[in-house]
Amino acid sequence: MTARRAVSRILLACLLAATVSACTGSSVNRKKEAEARVQMGVTYLEQRNLPMAMRELTRADELDPGNPEVEMMLGLTYQARGDLAKAEEYLRSALHRKPDYGEAQNNLGIVLAKQKRLDEAAREFEAAGGNVLYTTPEWAYYNLGEVERMRKEPVRAENAYRRALRANDRYAPAYLGLAAVLGEKGKWDEAEAVLVRCVQLLPEYAPGWMELGRVRVRLKRPGEAENDFNRVLSVSSDPELRKQAAGYLGLLKEQKR
């Protein structure tokens, strides 16, 4: 091999290596930029700034196409905009790419429930709740309970709320759902017990005190109910909740006269 040919090959090898390195670096940079834009998109979504959220997430999708996390966030943004068909499209795409994506399963269930496709929604919530990789199965089981109530299936709804509480006994909404189902079945003493457990674990949870007060009014235990409504006033800054508690206190005072 001549010296000139040897040098040419060395130069070509160096050029190829540099090209591969540049492409790899470019790919890494694009993914990093995509991640940053997703974080910005999530922040905008939390702030309900939907145009900015959509802009950042769309750009992230262009930088890192086929990323299921990006597609799920786009699905949530379209859901927030009220475009449920587009939201479903992105969430199903995310699940196609990542079948064990519990967050996407749960959010797809929510989108389907909003479209009154309750059987399909229940299947997605069941799948998400049973997904061992999903870190918040209580959300899915609570949503399943809500769907079962909409389907007029109180036994299944009660079971779903109880599963939510077995997954996380500090998940407050599941106590309210379970108490509501028990009340609908006329089991007010059991509903009271559920809500007592709720406020014992979560003493700052004003809606729990509010519902406990209402149940005790129904059970004709006005003294205890009055304490519950006063507790709402002491722990809550929500004007609507405070207004409701004050209204009940006014009624209880009228009944004493």
Q: Which domains does the chain have, with CATH numbers?
A: 32-99 (1.25.40.10), 100-161 (1.25.40.10), 169-257 (1.25.40.10)
- What pLDDT does residue 220 have? 96
- Cα distance between residue 156 and residue 84, in whole Å: 26
Helix ranges (H only) for the chain are: 3-46, 50-63, 68-81, 84-97, 102-114, 118-129, 137-150, 154-167, 172-184, 188-201, 206-218, 222-235, 239-256
> What's the CA angle centered on 27, arms 21 and 33, to 5 degrees?
135
- What pLDDT does residue 100 have? 95
- Residue by residue, pLDDT tens for the chain (257 residues) are 554 454 455 444 444 444 444 444 577 788 889 899 999 999 999 999 999 999 999 999 999 999 999 999 999 999 999 999 999 999 999 999 999 999 999 999 999 999 999 999 999 999 999 999 999 999 999 999 999 999 999 999 999 999 999 999 999 999 999 999 999 999 999 999 999 999 999 999 999 999 999 999 999 999 999 999 999 999 999 999 999 999 999 999 988 87
DSSP per-residue string spanning 148-214: HHHTT-HHHHHHHHHHHHHH-TT-HHHHHHHHHHHHHTT-HHHHHHHHHHHHHH-TT-HHHHHHHHH
pTM above 0.75, yes or no: yes
Element (H, E) at 132: none
CB atoms within 10 A of CB 148: 23
- What pLDDT does residue 2 have? 52
- What pLDDT does residue 56 have? 95
CB atoms within 10 A of CB 41: 26
